């Protein structure tokens, strides 16, 4: 029997229904054979004892949108390196995207990825199946995936579904959640042509403008309404999309949405002055007005969860001129700190950050036994020092890409230890090789 007793911390207990904020209470926690077996006052020390006085004891973060590049581009990340970056960031489980090479769009490529993750991942894992115009049967027969990923606008990789008849077919058949990258391909192409081949990175957010996102989100909402289909809006970036969701309603839980930390705290056009093409991602960083709208939506409970869209590219790739440089930025090892720092600065509350990075994604994707400090749940834990301030340094980044958009920025609120099912995988700045990671279990 493998046991761990975490003593004297501040437990982040599950939110009361509808509040969207964990409840912080002093207490102890015990994990036996990977499962939380005692919560509150633990009378007897069993197994390893961890002193958590002064620390927040929260469920491990679930990052519901990452790109780990394996197979096909393992020079910039793989499941081993990406999952170790997760552990360093307090992330104990991730959901990974299908725009690898080959794409995760067949039963075979999905089986390969799961087997690879079982061999090399340090934290628990789940995968999206990617939609193509002709893999409808796979979308509905593949087992144990978090959802179907639809790129409505083109981004990194080859996946794209922009024709109405293809979208209708996918929404009409099956019941699995559909997660959309909501940018309208027709408008995107039109605007790219308008801005021409000499466009600069500072124009990235104008080319892929707010209207491009709103059009696609509205289209996805209408499809979801028409076919009564579960829909998740990935990395929402505009106040207008938030307003759309608010006014059209979220269909009694039929529709959910997420935002990325970088869309909340970075702004265009400043981001391009500081980071150039490193600040380029899809959908793009937007104006301060949009991020203020996203914060309001986040704090009102409209937004269900936080995701990083961790999209590593090497510095050499990012140094190419605009038009050739790939879009995307890494985030798994800093997302919790970026969000807790925002709470420290008064933009939100730590209780809300914790909820939206743990139970939020677990609820969206119907993940079993994760995302909450609750008896019988997996002992996935992040110990967090809310007062610790550390400056992000590219040289210390664990992602293979070796850089981070928040380089040089001091952030307050850092994970100091991470446990996956009761086994330490990160402590005091060091990674620890734990027992084998496991596949996330999805309900239904």
Size of the chain, expressed as the number of residues it contains: 444
- Under the binding rule (CB under 6 A), the answer on residue 65 touching ligand DOR is no
Closer Cβ to ligand DOR, 99 or 121, answer by number: 99
Q: At what angle do helices 350-357 and 288-300 cross, to 10 degrees?
A: 80
Say if CB 99 and CB 128 are below 8 A apart: no
Q: What is the DSSP string of 331-344?
A: -TTTHHHHHHHHHH
CA 415 to centroid of chain Cα atoms: 17
Query: d(Cα 361, Cα 356) in Å, to the nearest integer?
Result: 7
- Under the binding rule (CB under 6 A), the answer on residue 205 touching ligand DOR is no
Position of tokens 């959908």? 283
Closer Cβ to ligand DOR, 181 or 370, answer by number: 181
Closer Cβ to ligand DOR, 311 or 373, answer by number: 311
Structure tokens at 235: 């990395």
SS3 for 192? helix
Site track for ligand DOR across 220-239, x = CB under 6 A: --------------------
Site track for ligand DOR across 302-341, x = CB under 6 A: -------x-x--------------xxx-------------
Structure tokens at 72: 């096909």
Say if CB 247 and CB 228 are below 8 A apart: no
Closer Cβ to ligand DOR, 4 or 167, answer by number: 167
Closer Cβ to ligand DOR, 227 or 318, answer by number: 318
- Under the binding rule (CB under 6 A), the answer on residue 155 touching ligand DOR is yes
Closer Cβ to ligand DOR, 156 or 277, answer by number: 156
Give the footprint of ligand DOR on residues 238-297 (CB under 6 A).
Answer: 281-282
- Under the binding rule (CB under 6 A), the answer on residue 156 touching ligand DOR is yes
Q: How far is the CB of 66 from ligand DOR (least distance, A)?
A: 9
Q: How far is the CB of 203 from ligand DOR (least distance, A)?
A: 16
Query: d(Cα 219, Cα 184) in Å, to the nearest integer?
Result: 9
Give the footprint of ligand DOR on residues 341-360 (CB under 6 A).
Answer: none
Q: Which residue is nearest to ligand DOR (CB)?
A: 328
CA 71 to centroid of chain Cα atoms: 20
Site track for ligand DOR across 23-62, x = CB under 6 A: ----------------------------------------
Q: Which of 63, 309, 378, 380 is catalytic?
A: 309
Give the footprint of ligand DOR on residues 74-133 (CB under 6 A).
Answer: 99
Query: d(Cα 258, Cα 237) in Å, to the nearest integer?
Result: 9
Query: d(Cα 183, Cα 200) in Å, to the nearest integer?
Result: 20
Question: What separation in angstroms does the CA of 303 have from each of 138, 243, 246?
Answer: 30, 11, 10
Structure tokens at 226: 């028409």
SS3 for 311? coil
Question: What separation in angstroms does the CA of 362 have from each of 1, 227, 317, 369, 371?
Answer: 27, 24, 34, 9, 6
Residue 316 is a catalytic residue: no
Catalytic residues: 309
Instruction: By CB under 6 A, name the binding residues for ligand DOR.
Output: 67, 99, 155-156, 181, 281-282, 309, 311, 326-328
């Amino acid at each position: 029997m493998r046991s761990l007793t975490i003593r004297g911390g501040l437990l982040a207990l599950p939110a009361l229904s509808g509040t969207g904020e964990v409840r912080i209470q002093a207490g102890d926690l015990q994990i036996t054979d990977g499962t939380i077996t005692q919560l509150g006052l633990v009378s007897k020390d069993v197994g390893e004892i961890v002193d958590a006085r002064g620390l927040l004891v929260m469920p491990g973060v679930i990052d519901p949108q990452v790109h780990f590049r394996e197979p096909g581009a393992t020079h910039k990340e793989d499941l081993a390196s990406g999952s170790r970056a997760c552990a360093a960031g307090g992330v104990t489980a991730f959901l990974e995207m299908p725009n690898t090479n080959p794409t995760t769009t067949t039963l075979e490529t999905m089986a390969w990825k799961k087997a690879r993750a079982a061999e090399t991942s340090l934290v628990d894992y789940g995968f999206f199946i990617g939609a193509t115009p002709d893999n409808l049967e796979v979308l509905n027969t593949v087992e144990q995936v978090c959802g179907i990923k639809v790129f409505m606008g083109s981004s990194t990789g080859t996946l794209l579904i922009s024709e109405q008849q293809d979208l209708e077919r996918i929404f009409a058949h099956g019941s699995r959640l559909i997660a959309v990258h909501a940018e309208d391909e027709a408008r995107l192409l039109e605007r790219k042509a308008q801005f021409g081949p000499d466009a600069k990175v500072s124009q990235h957010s104008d080319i892929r403008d707010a209207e491009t996102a709103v059009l696609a989100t509205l289209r996805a909402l209408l499809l979801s309404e028409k076919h009564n289909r579960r829909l998740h809006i990935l990395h929402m970036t505009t106040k207008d999309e938030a307003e759309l969701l608010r006014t059209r309603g979220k269909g009694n839980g039929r529709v959910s949405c997420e935002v990325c930390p970088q869309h909340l705290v970075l702004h265009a056009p400043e981001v391009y002055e500081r980071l150039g093409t490193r600040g380029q991602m899809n959908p793009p960083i937007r104006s301060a007005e949009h991020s203020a709208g996203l914060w309001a939506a986040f704090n009102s409970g409209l937004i269900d969860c936080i995701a990083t869209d961790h999209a590593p590219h090497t510095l050499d790739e990012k140094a190419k001129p605009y038009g050739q440089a790939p879009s995307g930025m890494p985030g798994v090892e800093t997302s919790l700190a970026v969000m807790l720092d925002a709470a420290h600065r008064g933009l939100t509350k730590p209780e809300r950050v914790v909820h939206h990075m743990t139970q939020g994604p677990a609820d969206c994707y119907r993940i079993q036994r994760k995302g909450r400090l609750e008896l019988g749940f997996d002992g996935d834990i992040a110990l967090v020092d809310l007062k610790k301030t550390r400056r992000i340094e590219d040289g210390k980044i664990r992602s293979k890409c070796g850089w981070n958009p928040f380089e040089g920025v001091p952030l307050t609120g850092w994970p100091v230890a991470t446990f996956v099912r009761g086994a330490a995988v990160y402590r005091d700045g060091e990674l620890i090789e734990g027992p084998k990671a496991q596949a996330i279990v999805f309900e239904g």
